[in-house]
Structures are given as structure tokens and as C-alpha cells.
Amino acid sequence: MAIANLDPTNPVQLPGGLITLWLTRNPGAAFSMGENITVVFTAVSILALLAVAVWALPRVRHRGWAVAAGLLLAGIAGNLSDRLFREPGPFQGYVVDFIQLRYFAIVNVADIFITSAAVLVVWLSLVSKVGLDGVGSTPAVAAGADLPEHLDG
């Protein structure tokens, strides 16, 4: 939708000025770092996707971790599909970014999913202290005392 509806020479500032829709193509990683190693990013993305899908996902027994894994898989797959199928060619494709946050970077929905997954992983690991299996690392957490009902595995 971004490619079909946004003109890279005419960014659209949304009301409030916090977000501008600005179509760009990024050959690198965050903040355009590593623009010359797109093939490496593609390979690492494939490995990350496999690691989450094959190793982590089968171990998930907690709704919060399931959400985090789903967000991470969707984010990796979104950026990976750009790397595999967009110009200039397979394993070298540019990621389509289009959401510019004021005073920050231009990102896409996949980036937002990956960042959200990271925040949720930190929350589950350090604050809720619950593992992939839904078991807490302290007796109170293991009994479910610190988990909101909707996140209790």
C-alpha cells in the first residue's frame, strides 16, 4: 500500500506532526547502517526466522510469549520478504520504510512488530519473570500471582 499510494518526493505529514508518511527504500539495517551487506542481513533474517519458528515457538506455553513470538515472526517475515523479492534482486532487496517518527527514524510495520516483540520479551523476562513455558522464576510468579489474568498461561 505504501508503494502504491505514497510519492517519495511528496511526504504526507499527519495531523499533529508526530508522524510523516515518507516512502523510502532502505538497503541497510536500522538507521541505514550496513548498506553494503544486504546479503548478510538477509541470511541472518532467515536464521532468525527459523530459530523462532523451529526452536522457540514449540516451547511456548504462555499467551504473552505466544504474542511476542507472533510479533517477532511477522516482523522478521515482513522485512525478509522485502529482502528476497524487491529490487535490486533476491537477497539484496531494499526494505520499504514509510513511517517517519518526528526526531527519529523512518520505519515500517515490520520494524514496529519487532520492536514491540522486544519490549514484550523484556517485560515477560524481567518484570513478570515468566519463562516460555509459562513457569515463573520465583514461587509467587510460578503460582501466577504477578500475572494479569489475560496473560496467565
Q: What residues act catalytically?
A: 97, 111
For CA atoms 148, 116, 11, 102, give the dihedral sign: positive
- Closest listed residue to residue 44, CA positions, set 12, 70, 83: 83
Burial class (CB in 10 A: 0-12, 13-18, 19+), 117: buried
Pairing between β-strand 95-101 and β-strand 106-107 as defined by DSSP bridges: antiparallel
